[in-house]
Structure 1
Amino acid sequence: MSAPLVKLFTHPEFAWKDIREQEQAHPSHYLAHLLLLALIPTVCLFIGTTWTGWSLAENETVRLNSASALQLCVLLYLTIVAGVVLMGAFIRWMSRTFEARPTLNQCIGFAAYTATPYFLAGLLGLYPNRWLAAIVLLAASAYATFLLFVGLPKFMNLKKEQGLLYSASVWGVGLLVLVTILVEMILFWFNVLQPEYLRFPAG
């Protein structure tokens, strides 16, 4: 793990300063963070849906065949990357209301680091379980929100009052983008690609 990534969970108030300095020295440094960490939920989900499976009935385990799982995971990966880029574009667009004048590159980088808790939460894909997923995703959402409200004023060099309003605006748009893009992905996968399920007696 890179130092800024570790600091996001140990000293988040200082991590954003390091991330901004890295961005100034290497404007595209966030790409590795985004493209590599986005693999965590996709790879784990592939393993979980093809090997572990999930249970909807007491005596039955459901899995996906490899082709359907691969389709799902490729779609998820593209959705994650596209969602972060889209969120960065919204952050850049909303910055015109405030004193911040970030580049699109900076906004995408900020969105990528703010989404880190969701990337790491993707580890639960190894063991698909709706209740566990709900708990972990709730925790990831809470910490991502914390990173947003702590990080945006520091990353954009804004006053506290402006940073709070900016963060609240980004949070609202981010929630809408997250729900919309994931629902569209699932509907496309389910209705167009038509996944194939494998059912086994629970053992």
Structure 2
Amino acid sequence: MIQHSIGLMTRPRTQWQRVAALPSNSLTPLLLYPGILALLPAVAWYYGTSRVGWSIGGSEAIRLTAASALQLCVLFYFAMLACVAAVGYFIYWMAGTYGARTSVVRGIVVAGLTVTPLFLFGLAGFYPLLWVDLLLGVIAVSWSVYLLYVGIPIMMEIPEERGFMFSTAVIAVGLVILVSLMVSTVILWDLGIGPAYTDA
């Protein structure tokens, strides 16, 4: 699985072609890929928020309690997987509109491979410095969008023009899922599943 991460970060078009050439039964193990890679940002942010902390304007570092950080990072992990699965399902659902034949597994694999930069750059959570994390976040999102635009036509075996429209529709779905995730977060915090800060 590491070769997929390296390939998508260094030679995306070639890597997508290799994945597209795999037989259908070889794609099923790739469903584990986002599950393993999503551990990286979850663990990084647990450590960063509970051990290192963050400060604003040179003030004393703010940290979460270990229990609160664990609870939030577990929810963060499952939210990432749910988002990948939802986007993957929508890729499958919309495929017919763009003249592509696909399966739910292929859709989830495309979504899971596309978010590789977000998971890898999530390691910035080990040291939560706002401007660094924002900069890396913008780079990761940009690279993921690029991967999507390159990967959809190859994986769905459709012309690039149709792949462009397909990818744009997937991004729109992703934005809707992001807003839904933010609303869910507000509701959960209102129900008491929010951050708890340390006194020191």
**How high is the TM-score relative to the length of structure 2?**
0.93
Query: How has the CA–CA distance of structure 1 residues 152 and 77 changed in structure 2, closer, same or farther, with 3 Å as cutoff?
Result: same
Mean Cα displacement is larger for which, 153-162 or 50-59?
Answer: 50-59
| Matched residue, 2:38 | 38
Matched, 1:128 2:128: yes
Structure richer in strand, relative to its length = 1
The letter of the residue matching 2:8 is L
Structure-1 separation of matches of 2:171 and 2:132: 24
Question: Where in structure 2 are the equivalents of 1:7-18 lying within 5 Å?
Answer: 7-18=7-18
Once the two structures are TM-superposed, the CA of residue 9 in structure 1 deviates from its matched residue by: 1.4
Percent identity between matched residues is: 36
The letter of the residue matching 1:63 is R
| Matched residue, 1:149 | 149
Q: Contact 1:39–1:77 (CA<8 Å) still a contact in 2?
A: yes
1:51-105 Cα offsets, whole Å, 9 max, x none, are 1001135331110111100011000001000000000111111112111011011
Matched, 1:92 2:109: no
Q: Contact 1:44–1:122 (CA<8 Å) still a contact in 2?
A: yes
1:112-161 Cα offsets, whole Å, 9 max, x none, are 00010110111111011222221111101110010011110001000121
Query: How has the CA–CA distance of structure 1 residues 124 and 190 changed in structure 2, closer, same or farther, with 3 Å as cutoff?
Result: farther
Question: Where in structure 2 are the equivalents of 1:46-125 lying within 5 Å?
Answer: 46-125=46-125
Query: How has the CA–CA distance of structure 1 residues 23 and 137 changed in structure 2, closer, same or farther, with 3 Å as cutoff?
Result: farther
Q: Contact 2:44–2:123 (CA<8 Å) still a contact in 1?
A: yes
- Alignment length (residue pairs): 200
Mean Cα displacement is larger for which, 12-21 or 103-112?
Answer: 12-21
Q: Contact 2:9–2:117 (CA<8 Å) still a contact in 1?
A: no
Structure-2 separation of matches of 1:123 and 1:179: 23
Query: How has the CA–CA distance of structure 1 residues 190 and 121 changed in structure 2, closer, same or farther, with 3 Å as cutoff?
Result: farther
Note the residue ranges of structure 1 that are not aligned, 5 or more in a row.
none
Query: How has the CA–CA distance of structure 1 residues 29 and 22 changed in structure 2, closer, same or farther, with 3 Å as cutoff?
Result: farther
Structure-2 separation of matches of 1:163 and 1:68: 42
CA RMSD of aligned residues (A): 1.7
Q: Contact 1:45–1:126 (CA<8 Å) still a contact in 2?
A: yes
Note the residue ranges of structure 2 that are not aligned, 5 or more in a row.
none
SS in 2 for 1:192: coil
